[in-house]
Amino acid sequence: MGLIWRLAALCLFLCTLGMQVPQHGSRPHLGESLTVDANWSELTTSMEKMHRAMASVAASGDSDVDFVSLMLPHHQAAIDMARIQLRYGTDPQMRRLAQEIIADQQSEIELMQLWLKQRAGLWANPR
């Protein structure tokens, strides 16, 4: 149960970041506003999608399965946000980081999906 509370606290913290009021001078220039708005909108949409997916996970009673079930949408959100960064970001270091996130998180998603599939097979065919 501690993991679920920690994930919920993390999600709440991330939500509050999006609700902060911009400081004086942090608003985009007129020509930048459409790109910034689209970028921000897509980032927050990906976070909302992750929150809905994580909230829809029902506790299984198995902490390993619960961990993986909650991490899958978390990792997918990281991939989605990294793709948004590649679409709008210009900093070479952040673009490289986004590419690494996509590769690493996709690999971990595949590993977790395989683990869940193997785990389900073990339960279906007990020895």
Question: Looking at the predicted structure, is the pLDDT value of residue 13 above 60?
Answer: no
pLDDT of residue 53: 96
Q: Where are the alpha helices (DSSP H) in the chain?
A: 2-18, 33-55, 63-88, 92-124
Name the CATH superfamily for 41-127: Ferritin, core subunit, four-helix bundle (1.20.1260.10)
Rounded Cα distance between 95 and 47, Å, is 19
pLDDT of residue 33: 60
- Segment 17-22 shows an average pLDDT of 49
pLDDT tens readout for residues 36-93:
688 999 999 999 999 999 999 999 999 999 999 999 999 999 999 999 999 999 999 9
pLDDT of residue 122: 75
Mean pLDDT, the chain, as a whole number?
83
How far CA 7 is from CA of 10, 46, 48, 70, 125, in Å, comes to 5, 17, 14, 8, 32
Q: How do the domains of the chain map onto residue ranges? A: 41-127
pLDDT confidence tier of residue 121, bands split at 50, 70 and 90: confident
Question: What is the pTM for the complete model shown?
Answer: 0.69
Rounded Cα distance between 65 and 50, Å, is 18
Please tell me which of 15-24, 26-35, 112-121 the model is most confident about, judged by mean pLDDT: 112-121
